[in-house]
Each structure stands twice: as C-alpha cells, then as structure tokens.
Amino acid sequence: MKMDGKIRVATDAKYKELYNNMKGNGVVEDFHALFFVCACLGFKNKKMTPIKKRDDRFWSGTITPSEWSCYYAIILEQNGFDFTKVSDEKEIMEVIERYANSGMEILIDEFLEDFLLPSSKKTIPQLDNAVCKTLPKQFVHFIFELSEPDRLE
C-alpha cells in the first residue's frame, strides 16, 4: 500500500461545521476518524451518495495504516478482488468519499439527530453543546452496537 499523504479528502460542505463540532467536543480525535466511521457506516449499508458541494476536509496523511487497509479491503470486496481497482489511491478515496457521505446521512438519521440544534438539522447540522456532555461515550456505544459483536465470537 502506498498510503499517499498528499490527497485532499473531501466531504460535503454542509458537514464542515459538524466535523468541527465533533472534534471540538472531544468526540473524535481528528477528522479522519469521523470520516472513517462514516465510511464504514455507508459501506455496511451498501450506500454511496455523491457529494453535492465538495469541500476539502483533511489531508490523507492523517489516515492511519489500519484505516487504509480497511479502505483497500472495501474496494477489493466491492470489485471482486480486482487489484487494478486499488492501483490509484486517489480513485480509492473518491469512492470512499461517497460511502462516507451517505454514512454521515445515516449517522445523523440514526444517532446524531438528538444531539443537534433543532433548527440546524435541515440546513447545516450543528451540535447542541448543551446536550453533548456524554456524547463521546454514546458515540462509541452506538458504533459498537452496530458491529454486532456477538457475531464475532
């Protein structure tokens, strides 16, 4: 794996504020982590949504090797283990971005909604700081539940 650090990874512009909030409230350490969660969510639900308004979010240099290997695995599984599909990391990220985009929609629908400022839900989602005191724990809990841990035993 090359793990190119010079790729600009993007999300939809409307999620910029939310990414900042999630980092600011200590829910995620950094943007790439939240992106990873969203990508996994989107992939699990087999949903890809193209980004309407592209907005750069972070440099691929922050993506960890574990995350990279998951992204590779996703692309390979999706393309019948065709290794040519993982030869260009820029292309890989373009696909993952679409998974992450729909993943974020799912995240908001199924979890974050309760923590957003009501007025912001339809437009530019923002966290309501007043109710986010234990969000870090609840976020991890939500993700963990999704992984159906029993199946792993």
Partner 1 sequence: MKIENFRQFRGIQEIEFINPSLPEGNVTVIFGENGRGKTGLFRAIMFCLFGERRLSQDGGVSHKEIQLVNTSALEATEGAPVRTSVDLEFMHDKKIYNLRRAIRGMIDAGQIIEEEDEKKLIVTIDGNSKTLATSEIDPTINNILDRRVKDYFLFDGEKIERLTRANIEQQKEISAGIRNLLNVDALETSIRIIGRVAKTIDRELSDSSNEELSRIMNRLSDNEEEQNRLQQQIEGLANEIRLARHEIEKTDNELEKFNEIRHLLERRKSLERELNTLEQQAKDFLAEMRNQVCKAASLIVAPTVINVFEHIEHQKQKGEIPSEIRHDLIERIINEKRCICGNDICEGSESYNHIMDWLKRTKDIKTQDVALSLWRHLGDVRNHFGDDASIVERNLQQYGNITSDIANINRNLENVRNQIGTSERQDATKLEGHRKSLQDNIISLIANDRRAQEQFEQLKQENDRLRALLKEEKLKVGLNDEMSRRSILVRDTQDALTEVYNQFTCEIKKLIGDSATQIFRELLDKEGRDNLRTIVVNDDYSLQVLDRYKKPFLANISAGQRQIMSISIIAALAITASQGKKIEIPLFMDTPFGRLSYEHRQHLINIVPTFASQWVLLATDTEFRRQEAQLLKNGGKWAKFYLLHSTGEGNTEIRQQDIDSAQVILRDEEEYQ
Positions touching partner 1 (CB under 8 A) are 1-2, 26-29, 33-34, 36-37, 40-41, 43-44, 64-70, 72-74, 76-77, 81, 83-84, 86-87, 134, 136-137, 139-141, 143-144, 146-147, 149, 152
Closest CA to 18 of 123, 93, 98, 94: 123
β-sheet bridge partners, residue 58: 9
CB of 103 to partner 1, least distance (A): 10
Question: Please, which residue, 15 or 72, has the CB nearer to partner 1?
Answer: 72
**Separation between Cα atoms, residue 3 and residue 89, nearest integer Å:** 8
Beta strands 8-12; 54-59: pairing state:
antiparallel
CB of 48 to partner 1, least distance (A): 15
Question: Please, which residue, 41 or 116, has the CB nearer to partner 1?
Answer: 41
Q: Residue 128, exposed/middle/buried by CB under 10 A (0-12, 13-18, 19+)? A: middle
Question: Please, which residue, 84 or 123, has the CB nearer to partner 1?
Answer: 84
CB of 39 to partner 1, least distance (A): 8
Question: Please, which residue, 8 or 73, has the CB nearer to partner 1?
Answer: 73
CB of 140 to partner 1, least distance (A): 5
How is 32-71 classified by DSSP, letter by letter?
A: HHHHHHHHHHHHHTT-----SSEEEEEEGGGS-HHHHHHH
